[in-house]
Amino acid sequence: MAEVGIIMGSQSDLPIMEEAVAILKAFQIEIEVDIVSAHRTPEKMMEYGTKAHSRGIKVIIAGAGGAAHLPGMIASLTPLPVIGVPIKSSNSIDGWDSVLSILQMPGGVPVATVALNGAKNAGILAAQIIGSHHPEIQNRIIEYKKDLQTKVLESSKNIKK
């Protein structure tokens, strides 16, 4: 059963959102992926946002670009933590529109917003949330962080040669 729901406003967001898919698969977390548009399929968005928690989803990652309303609207409908991924899409001016649309939520309705096109970090954050009550997954995150450290220390050694 999927624990992380990854949704995006358009098929055109998929190349970025694939990075969340890839890292969550690497952490061996069950996911589901779908396209849910706040503006083009509002009824589907309502259905997704109101029912995800009863289907066993624990965290939602929502990506959108331009007038990026999907993460905030989903957050308004669900009791689950929502991670928002601002995407620099074809209708973005420079990406700030997507960032601010997702980041500047009103009090009471948080969206944990990652960097522009930061789907990989969204996946890691979702894994950390799941890992907080799942020791096996938390251990994979500990190993992942050790690996990040090893890579930097190796580059540091090599750059001095």
Binding site for ligand RP5 (CB under 6 A): 8-10, 12-13, 37, 39, 64-66, 87, 89-91
Which structure tokens are listed for 29? Answer: 């977390």
Bridge pairing between strands 4-8 and 112-113: unpaired
- Residue whose C-beta lies closest to ligand RP5: 9
Query: Shortest distance, CB of residue 160 to ligand RP5, whole angstroms?
Result: 43
Q: Which is nearer to ligand RP5, 64 or 74 (CB)?
A: 64
Spatial separation of the C-alpha atoms in residues 136 and 11, rounded to whole Å = 33
Q: Which is nearer to ligand RP5, 16 or 130 (CB)?
A: 16
> What is the nearest approach in angstroms of ligand RP5 to the Cβ of residue 29?
23
Token code pair at residue 37: 């548009």
With tokens 């061996």, the residue in question is 28
Q: Which is nearer to ligand RP5, 66 or 131 (CB)?
A: 66
Closer to ligand RP5 by Cβ: residue 7 or 137: 7
DSSP code per residue over 7-21: EES-GGGHHHHHHHH
Rounded to the nearest whole angstrom, what is the least distance from the CB of residue 8 to ligand RP5 in the complex?
A: 6
Residues found in the chain: 161
Q: Least distance to ligand RP5 from the beta carbon of 40, Å?
A: 7
Half-sphere CA count of 113, side-chain side, radius 13 A? 23
